[in-house]
Each structure stands twice: as C-alpha cells, then as structure tokens.
C-alpha cells in the first residue's frame, strides 16, 4: 500500500469542509483495488461506499444472460455507492474495477449520517449524482446511435480524464464488455486508430499519442458529459491538469 496515498487524492473528499473531513476520515480504510475486482454485484445489499484515489471503477448494467454494458465510470472525482446514500440499499448494476489503484472505503451508514446533516456533503453528493445521471443517459444514446469507433474514442477519453498521463491499462476483451459489443469489433476499431497514429496498443496497454485527434474522432457524447462535469463539479478540471 503506497504511503503517498492521501485522502486529498480523492477530489470529492478534498473539497469537503474540515469539520466534515474530521467526522468521516477516522472511519476510512485505504484498500487496494486490483483490475477486475467486483465491488458489488447487481442486487447486492451495499454496506460500503468507495472513494477512488487513483483507480477507475466502471458501473455496468447486467442482463439476465450475463451480458453487460458500461453506463458510467467513477474516478477520483467521486464515489462508488450513490444508491446506498439515496436510500435504495442496492442497485441493478455491477461495480467493476476498470483501472487498478486504491480507494478509501467507508461504512455506508457513516456517510448517510453525515448526508442527513443537510450540510456540505449533501450538496456535493447531489451535484455529483447529477453528473452520473448525465453520463448514464448520454451513454445510452451513444450506444444506440454511434459507431463502435466513436464509442471507443469516448470510452478512452473518459478514462484518460481520470488518470495521470496518457496511458491506459485495459484489454480489448475488457473494452468489449464495457461497450457491450464483440471483441473483434473493438480490435478492428483500435487497429484503425493505431494505423492513424492516434494510439498504440501492446499487451493490454494503450498509449494515446494524439488526444486532440481522439477528441475529433469521438462523437459529441464525450464533450457533453465532460462539460456537464466541469459545470457541476468545481474540482473536475483539476483531475488531469
């Protein structure tokens, strides 16, 4: 466990007033989130919320036959476990670690108690929840109307916004599961981007060489979600600056 990891690396925790941090932080545990770890399954009763520091978590909608597709992602800008705070206790999606790293884990009841004080945390969580709703609705539209190439560009950009640098660790199979498409389609789309010099793919590592062109090739969905995140979350622009 890296000693350099601090609560301030989660942007939502960092922006909270000192008194809120002092009530929550003593009850948080720093945990490792390896690639592919499932934080909760569809229908599970949720006990904990997670504040990623350097990990990325995908929220996936799961079908009866086991097929799934990504509906939103969470990085150091937010938290995993919003349904617990909102009173549902469970959700129909799966939370899967897309990019390995760490997170601070907190018993959900602790966060609910702070949320019910109707103070700074309430406003912060509500604004963050609106960005998740935007992500989910725009992803649904994107999956219906845009090509695999455009969807891949959007997914890569959303992930890049939540990591340091321009490298991502994800396999074609993982990307295919997140997009809800066949792996062969992802391989073909990634190959086209590689031939254009936009990125380079080697053994599960994606190095983006031309982010500007990646944004140009993406559909409007990425810009809509990012702009809404910047508007609602004062700390979002700092993530990849």
Q: Which CATH architecture has domain 7-142+233-238?
A: Sandwich (2.60)
What pLDDT is attached to residue 90? 82
pTM for this one? 0.92
Domain boundaries, the chain: 7-142+233-238, 146-222
Please state the separation of Cα 51 from the chain's center in Å. Answer: 11
pLDDT beyond 70 at 3: no
What pLDDT is attached to residue 98? 93
What pLDDT is attached to residue 87? 83
Q: Can 7-142+233-238 and 146-222 be said to share one CATH topology?
A: no
* Calpha distance 110→113 (Å, rounded): 5
3-state secondary structure of 81: coil
Q: What is the mean pLDDT of the chain?
A: 92
- The residue behind tokens 């909270």 is 16
User: Where in 44-192 does DSSP place strands (E)?
Assistant: 48-52, 56-62, 68-74, 93-99, 101-107, 167-169
- What is the average pLDDT across 35-60? 94
* Calpha distance 174→172 (Å, rounded): 5
- For the domain bounded by 146-222, which CATH number is listed? 1.10.10.10
Query: DSSP states of 158-204 as a string?
Result: HHHTTSSSSEEE--HHHHHHHHTS-HHHHHHHHHHHHHTTSEEEETT
CB 135 within 8 Å of CB 60 = no
What pLDDT is attached to residue 1? 43
Model pLDDT for residues 133-170, shown as the tens digit of each residue = 999 999 999 999 999 999 999 999 999 999 888 999 99
3-state secondary structure of 207: strand
pLDDT beyond 60 at 59: yes
3-state secondary structure of 49: strand
- What is the average pLDDT across 41-62? 94
What pLDDT is attached to residue 239? 55
Token couple for 139: 């992803």
């Amino acid at each position: 466990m890296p000693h350099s990891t601090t609560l301030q690396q989660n942007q939502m925790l960092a922006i909270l007033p000192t008194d809120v941090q002092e009530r929550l932080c003593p009850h948080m545990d720093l945990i490792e989130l390896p690639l592919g770890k499932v934080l909760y399954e569809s229908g599970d009763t949720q006990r904990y919320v997670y504040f990623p520091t350097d990990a990325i978590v995908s929220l996936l909608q799961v079908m009866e036959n086991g097929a799934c597709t990504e509906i939103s992602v969470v990085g150091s800008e937010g938290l995993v476990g919003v349904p617990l705070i909102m009173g549902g206790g469970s959700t129909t999606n799966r939370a899967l670690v897309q990019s390995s790293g760490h997170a601070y884990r907190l018993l959900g009841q602790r966060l609910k108690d702070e949320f019910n004080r109707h103070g700074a945390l309430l406003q912060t969580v509500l604004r963050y929840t609106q960005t998740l709703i935007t992500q989910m609705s725009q992803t649904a539209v994107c999956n219906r109307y845009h090509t695999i190439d455009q969807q891949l560009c959007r997914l890569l950009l959303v992930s890049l916004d939540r990591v340091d640098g321009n490298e991502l660790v994800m396999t074609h199979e993982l990307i295919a599961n997140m997009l809800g498409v066949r792996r062969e389609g992802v391989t073909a789309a990634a190959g086209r981007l590689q031939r254009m010099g936009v990125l380079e793919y080697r053994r599960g590592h994606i190095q983006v060489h031309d982010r500007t062109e990646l944004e140009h090739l993406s559909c409007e969905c990425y810009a809509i979600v990012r702009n809404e995140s910047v508007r609602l979350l004062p700390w979002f622009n700092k993530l990849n600056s």
